[in-house]
Amino acid sequence: MTTETSHVPGYSYGDDSLERSPITLDELDLLKQTVLFGPDDVAALAQAGDVLENQTDQILEVWYGYVGAHPHLARYFSTPDGVLIADYLGRVRQRFRQWILDACRRPYDQAWLDYQNEIALRHTRVKKNATDGADSVPEIHLRYMIAFIFPITATMAPFLAAGGHPREQVDAMHAAWFKAVTLHATVWAQPYAPERF
């Protein structure tokens, strides 16, 4: 389990102050069934966590490079008139790094659900910018939350292969990562459509 968390600005996994997720554990279980997420995936993700642990900086280079190369995405880290906010990027990057390891290693339990609710809200007008005091646009459009599943999954392939595991294990880690990202993006959609989720 990752313990180097206390110095990550704005990271509040497990805090008592977090609201309870509107999604229940039973609903989460049905979502897991829907993406065919089971014990083998939990094991593959644990293995992925070990493979990725020392590569998070390089992964973030790729992801930030991708966002930075697309002005329609970079705008969400920018002021309303389009100036990138370096401090905001830097602080979110640290939480993003922590998320990679959490997605692999944390149990998907009530504490997980509650922090996913917090992250979801941080992508919406309810809480975006608040954690870092950023003067950025108020909300990330839902369509990009969904579309991000592909790049966040596809770009992970070479990093998962870098551990030197047999092809079938690398494929199992990649499939488990794909399911995990899909689960995250799905529960993060909740505040965008609370009545119809």
Closest approach of ligand HEM to the CB of residue 62, in Å: 14
Task: Please choose, from the candidates 46, 154, 170, 47, the residue with its C-alpha nearest in 3D space to the C-alpha of residue 108.
Answer: 46
Nearer to ligand HEM, 77 or 170 (CB): 77
**Spatial separation of the C-alpha atoms in residues 54 and 102, rounded to whole Å:** 14
- Binding of ligand HEM by 76 (CB under 6 A): yes
Judged by beta carbon, residue 169 or residue 175, the one nearer ligand HEM is 175
Q: State which residue, 99 or 172, has the beta carbon closest to ligand HEM.
A: 99
Binding region for ligand HEM (CB under 6 A) out of 26-34, 78-86, 118-126, 169-177: 118-126
* 77 is a contact residue toward ligand HEM (CB under 6 A): yes
- Rounded to 10 degrees, what is the CA torsion of 123, 126, 127, 133? 120
Sign of the torsion formed by the C-alpha atoms of 157, 162, 163 and 165: positive
- Give yes or no for a contact between 112 and 37, defined as CB atoms under 8 angstroms apart: no
Give the residue among 138, 159, 136, 150 at the shortest CA–CA distance from 185. 150
* d(C-alpha 25, C-alpha 58), whole Å: 34
**Is residue 120 involved in binding ligand HEM (CB under 6 A)?**
no
Q: How far is CA 152 from CA 81, 117, 180, in A?
A: 27, 20, 11
Using rule CB under 6 A, residue 149 touches ligand HEM: yes
Binding window for ligand HEM (CB under 6 A); candidates: 14-22, 25-33, 44-52, 125-133: 125-133
Residue 131 binding ligand HEM, by CB under 6 A: yes
Binding site for ligand HEM (CB under 6 A): 10-11, 67, 73, 76-77, 92, 95-96, 99, 119, 122-123, 128-129, 131-132, 134, 140, 144-145, 148-149, 152, 181, 184-185
